[in-house]
Every structure is written in C-alpha cells, then in structure tokens.
Amino acid sequence: MNSSVIQIPIFDWTVNVMYNLDPKDVDECSQNLLENGAPADLILDLSRNVTAGGSSTVTGPNNQIYMIFPKFHSLSSMFKVISHEIAHAVTNICEHQGIHDSETFSYIMGFISSAFYEIGIISKMIVVDDNTRNEALMLIPIKESDKVIVTSNDALIGDVRVTASKVSIDND
C-alpha cells in the first residue's frame, strides 16, 4: 500500500490518497485512517469497499477527504476510476464550501487531477494485466523536455498490446 497527501490551500482541504491496496491491506489502511482522525463509520465503509476490491472516497471531519484505490486490472479502468473518485471528492468539497458554479468545480477537479501526476501517484499505481501472466505495468512520468524512444517489433494499438523491447528516456 502507498499513500500520499494533496493539500488544497485555497480552500484549506486535505486529500489523503491510499493506493495499490490489496484486500489484505484493510487492517493497515484502517489503522492509518484512525490515526489521521477519520471517524469509525467512515473507516468501516472504506474497509468494506477495499475488501470487495473497490475504490472509495469519503469526507471526514476538519476538511479531510479520504480516497482509497486498489491495484487496477487495466489502464482504462484506472483512469476511469480515478476520475470518478476525484469527481466525488470535488463534489463533497464544493458542497461543504457552498460552491455552486462549474468553473470552481472544474478548477478543483483540475488541481487534484494534476496533483495525482505531479506528486507521483499515477506513476506508482500498479496495473495488473490478467492476460499477461500478472505482470505489473507501471506508468513512468516524463517531462515535456524528455525525448522518449521506444524500439519494438510488436504493436497492436487497437486492442492495446504493445511490447517494447527497449524504452529509453533522453533528458539532456
């Protein structure tokens, strides 16, 4: 299990993100939440979702959001679930702040989404592909200035099978 914290200073909110959870991580996750002040009923709700292999987002006291993500089985499901859970977090923040306009909602959505990338959550999330001998696929964050060179003799973009024999990043 990994964890990261995203601060939203303009609204004084904190988003606590726990990810790469296995159902066996429920006790450790629950203890982490308890130590960070999450109420017992929220911990129980999150524990049920994690045990079932799902993700969850709940709002705790003192402007705290708790987000939990399992290991994913495809990149598309990872991005779909992350977006879905961030939308829940932003909805909860806006409701608590009395915000009713879409521009502020979109700003907070973008802020949290970019934080997932910038602080490395996306690069550390594990995608386990059941069709490829359960090998973990990791996303590698690259800067715009990096030159990415992929050398491969196998590619099927339509159904997403890309086997790279060599990937190099040249970041002069």
Q: pTM for the full model?
A: 0.71
**Any idea which residue has 């086997």 for tokens?**
163
> Whole-angstrom Cα distance, residue 28 to residue 24?
9
DSSP 101-134: -HHHHHHHHHHHHHHHHHTTHHHH--EEETTTTT
In eight-state DSSP terms, residue 155 is E
**pLDDT tens string 111-129:** 999 999 888 888 787 776 5
In whole angstroms, give the CA distance from residue 100 to residue 91: 10
93 three-state secondary structure: helix
Classify strands 154-156 and 161-163 as parallel, antiparallel or unpaired: antiparallel
pLDDT along the chain (172 residues), means of 10: 90 91 78 78 74 76 87 82 93 95 95 90 73 45 49 46 49 50
- Residues 135 and 115: their CA atoms lie apart, in Å, by 27
